[in-house]
Amino acid sequence: MPNKILTEEEIISEIKDGMTIGVGGWGSRRKPMSLVRAIIRAGIKDLTIVSYGGPEIGLLSATGQLRRAVYGFVSLDSIPLEPHFRIARQTKSIIASEFDEGAFYLGLLAAAHRVPFYPTRAGLGSDMLNMNPDLELVTSPYADESGEYEKLVAIPAFEIDVSLIHMNRADKAGNGQFLGPDLFFDDLFAMAAKKTFMSCESIVETENFPTYGSVHTLKIPRIFIDGVIEAPLGAHFTECPPDYGRDEEFQKLYASTAKDTELWNKFKSQFLDLGSHSEYLKSLDSFKESQ
């Protein structure tokens, strides 16, 4: 089996200005935060993020690296409205491509299956079509029981250059294992992108996967993974059960920086302007000790 272990630098060198990045997880749950912080550190700009959005959209808006967000929603879960994202929307500093949550799944699925679109009723009659003037309708080639040809919304395949996902366990060949209650759409993110990089809580021997979870948890096959990196607490401050829950106190601190430039600058120098994920963990430790 191949060895796909990469360094943070090697992964980041694959991400260029103007690229479209798919980010796995959901809201403030199992987000590949160490890799998002690495993008911030590298100053890569004009990015498009495609995600069930959480703090990655807020953070990259706040640092000015986000050009466009394609999302089903943007939320921190326990804080329903992502405060940095709200500001970005209200000041129109980013382009927003908002989809119905289920329709978003079909954009990923179409990309994963290499078809131009998947049809759905979702969006008909709502402002989703007005918000996304590029969305087109398709007419079913098949008549229904009353002889009608139904019109449906064609959700286009999301074009994703690089996807980033975070798993509980992985092996060095790039097989990933999720141990929490929901895979979310991480397998589709991996299939939809030209390249996918996976961080994980720990890299384990392939034969040891069954000691952590049943075969049903092995949902990321290595054929969709181009690089793997061990990043303990890599999803912090989002949750990564069963390894750890959401750091609610830290999330509150992050949220509070949206309305106060001084707090944001302090947060940025303490937790973002750092050389590596291990420096982040050290900074987090000393922050926790001071609390």
Partner 1 sequence: MRRADVCVVQIAECFRDDADILCNPIGISPIIGGRLAKATFANEVVMTDAVSVLAANIIPLGDETAERVVESYVPYRTIFDIVWSGRRHVMMGATQIDQFGNQNIAAIGGYEQPKAQLLGLRGAPGNLINHRTSYWIPKHSTRSFVKGVDVVSGPGYDKMRSLGAPSNKYHDVHRVVSNLGVFDFLTPDNRMRIVSVHPGVSVEEIREHTEFEIEIPEILEESRFPTEIEIDLIKSIDPDGLRYSEVDDE
Minimum CB distance to partner 1, residue 116 (Å)? 20
205: contact with partner 1 by CB under 8 A: no
Which one of residues 80, 133, 141, 275 is an interface residue with partner 1 (CB under 8 A)?
A: 80
Residues near 32 by Cβ (< 8 Å), separated by ≥ 6? 23, 24, 25, 56, 164, 165, 166, 198, 199, 234, 235
Element (H, E) at 209: helix 209-212
Interface stretch with partner 1, choices 80-88, 164-172, 193-201, 231-239 (CB under 8 A):
80-88
Distance CA 32, CA 133 (A): 31
* Pairing state between β 20-23 and 47-53: parallel
Residue span 180-199 as binding mask against partner 1, x where in contact by CB under 8 A, dash where not: -xxxxx--------------
- 213 backbone φψ class: left, alpha, beta (φ>0; ψ -120 to 50): beta
- The answer to the question of residue 271 lying near partner 1 (CB under 8 A) is no
| Backbone phi and psi for residue 30, each to the nearest 5 degrees, phi listed first | 45, 55
Spatial separation of the C-alpha atoms in residues 179 and 239, rounded to whole Å: 12
Look-up of token digits 């302090």: 266
Task: Out of 10, 43, 81, 265, name the contact with partner 1 by CB under 8 A.
Answer: 81
Binds partner 1 by CB under 8 A, chosen from 148, 249, 260, 279: 148
CB of 92 to partner 1, least distance (A): 4
- Judged by phi (left if over 0) then psi (alpha if -120 to 50, else beta), residue 114 lies in left
Q: Which burial class, exposed, middle or buried, applies to 29 when counting CB atoms under 10 A from its CB (0-12, 13-18, 19+)?
A: buried
The nearest distance, CB 196 to partner 1, in angstroms, is 18
Q: Is 126 in the site for partner 1 (CB under 8 A)?
A: yes
Could you say whether residue 150 binds partner 1 (CB under 8 A)? yes
Q: Closest distance between partner 1 and the C-beta of residue 121, in Å? A: 4
Can residue 112 be called a binding residue for partner 1 (CB under 8 A)? no
Q: Which residues here bind partner 1, judged by CB under 8 A?
A: 26, 71-75, 80-81, 85-86, 89-92, 96, 98-103, 105, 120-128, 130-131, 144, 146, 148, 150-152, 181-185
